[in-house]
């Protein structure tokens, strides 16, 4: 097997060393999601890490649902997690695994610990267990049930399994050391009673192993060689190794920790995302404002942009907060290369060009991409009534304003130079349209007597199709909402802004023909506005909705992460 190096992933060095010691090592990693929510960009980091390492070293990566708590889990999450992993471009080895498929073996290992006098049934209440456990400063004290005989423990554990106890009345604990300086080693709970039907094992069990008991043993049963988890499990490694050492299991996986992804302006905890959903602050797990995989996908992020991001952030042991602009850089870079340029007017005002006939239609062929002819061309139409963006016109004279104003000229993108002459207003004083003169001598050329005016985008009214545009801003107005206890008090009221405007009719036609088919591959750059995709959930043939994926590059605040 080849030794790999030069990466921004410290785990490669560890594996390289392992391979030096054992040339025949068959590497096996696993991604172990708990099916209690949808995957997010933090999980993507772990997915890329586990699957890419397996690929790099010609090994395998398992998918294992860590389903030891039926209270919070359900089958809908299992489906969504599989879909998201596949969408990210990864394939797990063989069948999907579940911690629950190992429940019977785990039960046997629990009995083995009891028989070795290394586990006991405790009947303290949850609160008492907590109190007896002590603190960092105060050592724990032994439970009065700690010294039960092996046979009594075996009998009671069986009773737990058979449903003789109620929830919270008994649990199985490892007998380690109540005075350990690691609180986690003060007789951790291995099994607890939960009377809830399980999505996989149905009513078969009413005792469920804890994460600590199930994880190491499931890793071992599945012959995982390297078990990667985030830094907060550093102390749990002590239990991980203790259980493997004290049971007769023959395979020895090793746990390694890396720092979890924290992303600016984002909430990644599933528990907190659930709160946002329950309180109707966002519309479900796939709301484009949150950084779940399904939210990012709906927002127009591609799988490759997420993989690129995960590669760029690397894998280290340092906890840090990654800039959101780095994620944006990854998608913008990709969309710049592949999205079709087209014009859309998000907040329209009408312009009437009085020196052009009502039935005049000029067809113009425009490139789909400024530098890539392979993306082709499309037709746009010029007539005497067009829409422009409301903010591209200023009523009050402003010397610095480089857009349209009365008495001044502007170039319509791919088209003519026009001059604003009159404003039409309704009785409340709102502008309803502008009357302009069109210089028909200016198509594709600069008249010698004129300066080059600025360029704005536009759409012919007769060749426009109505559309809704959803503009997203960050959901929180502070950089690190995850750190705040009351994160709900930092919501950005402008996280979603809806605009009703128009797109080019040809583009609308192209989209409508594709609705229900391959619409996910359509990426647009609305010129001068940003990158957009079709919202695949809410769009209808006659009500097209676009999600803004990311703004255009604005040299003032965009960093280069290349």
Kind plus residue range of the DSSP H or E element containing 403: none
Residues 535-554 that bind ligand ATP (CB under 6 A): none
Residue number, 251 or 260, with CB nearest to ligand ATP: 260
Query: Which of residues 268, 290, 380, 412 is near ligand ATP by CB under 6 A?
Result: 268
What are the DSSP E strand ranges found in 85-131? Answer: 97-98, 119-122
Shortest distance in whole angstroms from residue 185 CB to Mg ion: 21
- Chain residue whose CB lies nearest Mg ion: 34
What are the DSSP E strand ranges found in 313-416? Answer: 321-322, 340-342, 344-345, 348-353, 362-367, 377-382, 385-389, 393-394, 404-405, 409-412
Residues 28-47 that bind ligand ATP (CB under 6 A): 32-34, 42-43, 45-46
Dig out the tokens for 332 from the structure: 């913008």
- Binding part of the chain for ligand ATP, among 155-163, 261-269, 377-385, 494-502 by CB under 6 A, reads 261-269
Residue number, 34 or 235, with CB nearest to Mg ion: 34
Q: Residue 230 binds which one of ligand ATP, Mg ion, none, with CB within 5 to 8 A depending on kind?
A: ligand ATP
Enumerate the active-site residues: 34, 260, 270
Residue number, 34 or 468, with CB nearest to Mg ion: 34
Residue number, 220 or 529, with CB nearest to ligand ATP: 220
Shortest distance in whole angstroms from residue 207 CB to Mg ion: 20
Instruction: Please list the residues that pair with 122 across neighbouring strands.
Output: 171
Q: Residue 32 binds which one of ligand ATP, Mg ion, none, with CB within 5 to 8 A depending on kind?
A: ligand ATP
Shortest distance in whole angstroms from residue 523 CB to ligand ATP: 27
Q: Residue 217 binds which one of Mg ion, ligand ATP, none, with CB within 5 to 8 A depending on kind?
A: none
Q: Residue 269 binds which one of Mg ion, ligand ATP, none, with CB within 5 to 8 A depending on kind?
A: ligand ATP
User: Judging by DSSP bridges, how do beta strands 97-98 and 404-405 pair with one another?
Assistant: unpaired
Residue number, 269 or 480, with CB nearest to Mg ion: 269
- Binding part of the chain for ligand ATP, among 147-155, 195-203, 268-276, 283-291 by CB under 6 A, reads 268-276
Residue with the two structure tokens 């919501």: 491
Which residues have CB under 8 Å from 276's CB, separation 6+?
A: 267, 282, 290, 475
Residues 13-52 that bind Mg ion (CB under 5 A): 34
> Site size for ligand ATP, by CB under 6 A?
15
Residues 341-360 that bind Mg ion (CB under 5 A): none
Residues 46-105 that bind ligand ATP (CB under 6 A): 46, 66
Shortest distance in whole angstroms from residue 36 CB to Mg ion: 7
- Chain residue whose CB lies nearest ligand ATP: 42
Shortest distance in whole angstroms from residue 98 CB to ligand ATP: 13
The mark string for 203-232 relative to ligand ATP (x by CB under 6 A, - otherwise) is --------------------------xx--
Dig out the tokens for 116 from the structure: 């070795």
Tell me how far apart the alpha carbons of residues 433 and 539 are, in angstroms, rounded to a whole number. Answer: 29
Residue number, 70 or 530, with CB nearest to Mg ion: 70
Shortest distance in whole angstroms from residue 78 CB to Mg ion: 15
Shortest distance in whole angstroms from residue 261 CB to ligand ATP: 4
Q: How far, in Å, are 59, 272, 483 from residue 278 at the CA level?
A: 41, 10, 20
Tell me how far apart the 2 most distant CA atoms of the chain are, in Å.
Answer: 104
Query: Which of residues 270, 332, 463, 470 is near ligand ATP by CB under 6 A?
Result: 270
Q: Residue 270 binds which one of Mg ion, ligand ATP, none, with CB within 5 to 8 A depending on kind?
A: ligand ATP
> Site size for Mg ion, by CB under 5 A?
1
Alpha helices by DSSP H, 116-149 = 126-133
Burial of 367 (0-12, 13-18, 19+ CB in 10 A): middle
Give the closest residue to 98 by CA, choosing from 231, 195, 185, 204. 204
> What does residue 28 show for φ and ψ, rounded to 5 degrees?
-140, 120
Give the closest residue to 223 by CA, choosing from 94, 44, 47, 81. 94
Tell me how far apart the alpha carbons of residues 465 and 168 are, in angstroms, rounded to a whole number. Answer: 62
Shortest distance in whole angstroms from residue 353 CB to ligand ATP: 55
Tell me how far apart the alpha carbons of residues 394 and 406 are, in angstroms, rounded to a whole number. Answer: 8
Tell me how far apart the alpha carbons of residues 488 and 512 are, in angstroms, rounded to a whole number. Answer: 39
Query: Which of residues 269, 336, 368, 536 is near ligand ATP by CB under 6 A?
Result: 269
Residue with the two structure tokens 């903010």: 391
Give the closest residue to 220 by CA, choosing from 238, 244, 236, 237. 244
Instruction: Please list the residues that pair with 417 across neighbouring strands.
Output: 411, 439
Q: How far is CA 168 from the centre of its chain?
A: 36
Burial of 196 (0-12, 13-18, 19+ CB in 10 A): middle
Shortest distance in whole angstroms from residue 66 CB to Mg ion: 7
C-alpha distance across the termini of the chain, in Å: 31
Residue number, 313 or 356, with CB nearest to ligand ATP: 313
- Binding part of the chain for ligand ATP, among 92-100, 262-270, 286-294, 333-341 by CB under 6 A, reads 262-270
Which residue ranges make up the site for ligand ATP (CB under 6 A)?
32-34, 42-43, 45-46, 66, 229-230, 260-261, 268-270
Chain residues in the site for Mg ion (CB under 5 A):
34
């Amino acid at each position: 097997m080849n030794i790999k190096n030069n990466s921004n992933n410290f785990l490669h060095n560890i594996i390289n060393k392992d391979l030096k010691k054992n040339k025949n090592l068959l590497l096996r990693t696993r991604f172990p999601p708990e099916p209690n929510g949808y995957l997010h960009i933090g999980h993507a980091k772990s997915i890329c890490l586990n699957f890419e390492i397996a690929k790099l070293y010609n090994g395998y990566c398992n998918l294992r649902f860590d389903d030891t708590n039926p209270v919070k889990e359900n089958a809908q999450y299992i489906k969504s997690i599989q879909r998201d992993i596949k969408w990210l471009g990864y394939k797990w080895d063989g069948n999907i695994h579940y911690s629950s498929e190992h429940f019977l073996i785990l039960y046997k290992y629990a009995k083995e610990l009891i028989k070795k006098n290394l586990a006991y049934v405790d009947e303290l209440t949850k609160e008492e267990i907590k109190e007896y456990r002590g603190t960092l400063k105060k050592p724990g004290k032994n439970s009065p049930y700690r010294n039960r005989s092996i046979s009594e423990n075996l009998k009671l554990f069986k009773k737990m399994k058979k449903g003789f106890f109620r929830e919270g009345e008994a649990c199985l604990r490892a007998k380690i050391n109540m005075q350990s300086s690691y609180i986690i080693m003060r007789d951790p709970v291995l099994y607890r009673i939960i009377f809830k039907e399980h999505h996989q094992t149905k009513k078969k069990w009413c005792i469920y192993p804890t994460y600590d008991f199930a994880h190491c043993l499931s890793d071992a049963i599945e012959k995982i060689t390297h078990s990667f988890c985030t830094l907060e499990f550093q102390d749990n490694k002590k239990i991980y190794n203790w259980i493997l050492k004290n049971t007769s299991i023959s395979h020895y996986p090793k746990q390694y920790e890396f720092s979890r992804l924290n992303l600016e302006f984002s909430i990644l905890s599933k528990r907190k995302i659930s709160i946002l959903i329950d309180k109707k602050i966002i519309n479900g797990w796939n709301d484009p404002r949150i950084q779940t995989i399904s939210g990012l996908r709906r927002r127009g992020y591609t799988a490759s942009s997420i993989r690129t991001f995960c590669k760029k952030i690397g894998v280290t042991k340092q906890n840090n907060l990654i800039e959101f602009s780095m994620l944006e850089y990854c998608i913008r870079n990709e969309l710049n290369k592949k999205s079709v340029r087209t014009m859309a007017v998000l907040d329209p005002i009408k312009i009437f060009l009085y020196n052009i006939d009502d039935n005049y239609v000029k067809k113009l062929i425009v490139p789909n991409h400024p530098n890539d002819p392979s993306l082709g061309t499309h037709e746009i139409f010029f007539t005497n009534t067009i829409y422009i963006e409301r903010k591209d016109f200023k009523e009050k004279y402003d010397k610095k304003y480089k857009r349209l104003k009365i008495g001044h000229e502007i170039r319509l993108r791919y088209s003519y130079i026009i001059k604003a002459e009159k404003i039409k207003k309704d009785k409340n004083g709102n502008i309803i349209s502008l009357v302009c003169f069109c210089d028909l001598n200016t198509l594709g050329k600069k008249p010698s007597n004129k300066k080059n005016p600025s360029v704005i985008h536009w759409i012919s009214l007769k060749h426009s199709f109505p559309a809704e545009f959803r503009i997203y801003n960050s959901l929180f107005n502070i950089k690190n909402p995850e750190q705040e206890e009351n994160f709900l008090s930092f919501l950005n009221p402008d996280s979603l802004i809806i605009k009703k405007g128009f797109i080019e009719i040809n583009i609308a036609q192209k989209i409508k023909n594709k609705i229900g088919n391959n619409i996910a591959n359509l990426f647009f750059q609305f010129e001068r506005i940003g990158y957009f995709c079709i919202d695949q959930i809410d769009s209808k043939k006659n009500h097209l909705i676009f999600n803004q994926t990311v703004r255009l590059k604005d040299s003032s605040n965009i960093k280069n992460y290349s």
